[in-house]
Structure 1
Amino acid sequence: MAARERRPNPRVGPGRTVRSEPPVDPALYRQVVGRFATGVAVVTTVAGGADHAMTVNAFTSVSLDPLLVLFCVEKIARFHEFVLDSGLWAVSVLTEEMRDASNWFATRGRLLDGQLDDWPHTRGPVTGAPVFTAAVAALECRTHAVHDGGDHSIVVGEVLDLDIPDPQGKPLIFYDGTYRSLA
């Protein structure tokens, strides 16, 4: 934490409700949480006989016993319905060279037909979901739980299979609103 002096907040403590007065500025919120460096991944699923994909940076490990991970998906995104209906999905952690893929799968309203054509991928052996062959890591999952997260759903998945498609790849990093690379 910064070295500035903080006085105790009389609103915080046992039996007291924490309120933000004045309300937190959403633009400042985005700036502050954007200072947390994250990896970039694409989550994929197969629903209705078609492939579906979405870029995420809200992805993390949750538990070792059982093996659980989570990602967050905006409730108004088309992908939300597809991944919840399917219940099976894959995560491909992107390499530095996959910025275009990250941007493409983050584009709202893009055509769904043939959306994976420009990125080499295979079918996950357990879920059948697309897995990028140039990913630094890949996981196949079954939905374990879905939690409300405001305007997003928090999708927790049981890990069914793991792979390291490109062991020499360097991960794509997102920090302060832009892509970065490891030094």
Structure 2
Amino acid sequence: MATDGAAFRRVLAQWPSGVVIVTTGAGGRRHGMTASAFSSVSLDPPMVLVCLARGTRTHDLVAEHGTYAVSILGKDQAALGRRFAGPDADRFSGAGWQAGQTGSPVLTDSVGWLDCRVAHAYPGGDHTIFVGEVLGTATPRRVAPVLFHSRAWSQLADPLPDRITVADTGLLAVLRVRGFSGPRLAGIARLLRAAGTRVRLFDLYGDAPPPEDLAPATASALITRPEQVADVAAAGAGVVEFRAKEHGPAPEAAPRAGMVEFRAEEHCPILEAAQRAGLVTVANLPDAFAAGREHRVVAQVARLAALGCDEIALEEGGSAATPLQVRRVIQEAAAVAGGAALRVGLRERHGIGLVNALVAMKSGVWRFDTTLGGVDGALPAEDVLFLAGELEVASPVDRAALIAGAAELERSWGSVLPGRTYRFTH
């Protein structure tokens, strides 16, 4: 049955799509328009297509120059998309643009962009299908895309991870300060590890490891010098942690004790020694969510990832994290982390800790550094797992076993623990 243009549009409006800005030209002759008729075509060679209406200025410039760029918009860039879809003559103002390899402008803070040379142009009714060979790409940041559906701008809900896991990075250090030692420490460590939690069993500032056989995947050590890597491996721990000192001017008056300094153009001796020993490497970035430090933290993540660090832990530290700051830092860090896995170590302040944990999950994080019972101010492991359970997010960690451990710890502690949920088994 034949259909008219209006009916055709109504049907196609039910198909949700992402939104891109197609740009071309250079200097005073650059131009661009919002489009949703965009698709990948080939992986080898990499090719994409855009469908542009004949008679538009963008169409004519793409045909003339034989090049175009596609910038994919994030959910916070709907206003920019509307501007490029409307009559605004100064479409490029108020946003960051740079010339790609072809000279076509690309949006510097887009979700991703592709710079293309036209390889084929096919007639498609009142449009032309421009198939472009991709010459350059980038993914400047990680954020949910903006969507267009039923002639309305919308966005996807941030997905939750399929699973989460937790590591205990604070309990044994606190217990040592309170005089726990020997069999008592070893028993608590065994309980945590039996629950499936990775445990920072010892640091090598001077403490000796518990005298027991260790499962490498569930045992970590915090060290300060490369020569300590051999001690970690000999003790049976499979994970080496170190604190990375901020590169360049730092807001603190003096560097913190135990931080490892390195430069991207040089090397990180601890990292290299651990990699040679075949150990998992974790770099901890203190005060990662402090206001005004996002650029430094993201730059540090990029350097550590380039050096081959396995995991990078963003620690809340002394400056209270807000949900918005947690989201911004994680999304920016994820864009440069490459193959390195991000973890977060959050603290419980004014009831915001679990909110920050939820934000971290919805930003793609599924590894959390915690402390049983929250006895050092860190977010308690059992609270994070309680939240995951309420969200129907799985975990290999046995929360019931951790709750039993928290109850035992409370008896030794002599008072109620800071954790909010360890008295609840469901």
Q: TM-score range by the shorter chain?
A: 0.7 to 0.9
Aligned equivalent of 2:91:
115
Could you list the per-position Cα deviations for residues 56-91 of structure 1 after superposition, in whole angstroms to 9, with x for gaps in the alignment?
A: 100000111221100011002111111111112111
CA contact (8 A) 2:26 2:103 kept: no
CA contact (8 A) 2:46 2:134 kept: yes
Structure 1 residue runs of 4 or more that deviate by more than 4 Å after TM superposition:
none
1:20-169 superposed matches below 5 A: 20=1, 23-46=2-25, 49-108=28-87, 110-111=88-89, 114-124=90-100, 126-166=101-141, 168-169=142-143
CA RMSD in angstroms, aligned pairs only: 1.5
TM-score, with structure 2 as normaliser: 0.36
Counterparts of 1:25 and 1:88, CA distance in 2: 33
CA contact (8 A) 2:26 2:104 kept: no
Aligned equivalent of 1:8:
none
TM-score, with structure 1 as normaliser: 0.81
1:180 and 2:159 aligned:
no
- Which moves more between the two structures, 81-90 or 136-145? 81-90
CA contact (8 A) 1:141 1:161 kept: yes
Structure 1: runs of 5+ lacking an equivalent: 1-19
Equivalent pairs counted in the alignment come to 157
Counterparts of 2:26 and 2:99, CA distance in 1: 14
Change in Cα spacing, 1:102 to 1:37, as seen in structure 2 (3 Å) is same
* SS across alignment from 2:25: strand
Larger Rg: 2
**Which amino acid in structure 2 is aligned with residue 170 of structure 1?**
A
Could you list the per-position Cα deviations for residues 81-125 of structure 1 after superposition, in whole angstroms to 9, with x for gaps in the alignment?
A: 1111111211100011111111111114x42xx43121112221x
* SS across alignment from 1:153: strand
Counterparts of 1:47 and 1:122, CA distance in 2: 10
* C-alpha deviation, 1:178, in angstroms: 0.7
* Structure with the higher helix share, 1 or 2: 2
- Give identity over the alignment, percent: 39
* Structure with the higher strand share, 1 or 2: 1
* SS across alignment from 1:148: strand
* SS across alignment from 1:36: coil
Could you list the per-position Cα deviations for residues 38-66 of structure 1 after superposition, in whole angstroms to 9, with x for gaps in the alignment?
A: 10000111157521111110000011122
Counterparts of 2:3 and 2:144, CA distance in 1: 36
- Which moves more between the two structures, 52-61 or 40-49? 40-49
* SS across alignment from 1:35: coil
CA contact (8 A) 1:41 1:94 kept: yes
Could you list the per-position Cα deviations for residues 133-161 of structure 1 after superposition, in whole angstroms to 9, with x for gaps in the alignment?
A: 22111000000111111011111100111
**Which amino acid in structure 1 is aligned with residue 95 of structure 2?**
W
Q: Structure with the greater relative contact order (CA < 8 A, sep ≥ 6): 1 or 2?
A: 1
Counterparts of 2:129 and 2:77, CA distance in 1: 25
Counterparts of 2:108 and 2:27, CA distance in 1: 24
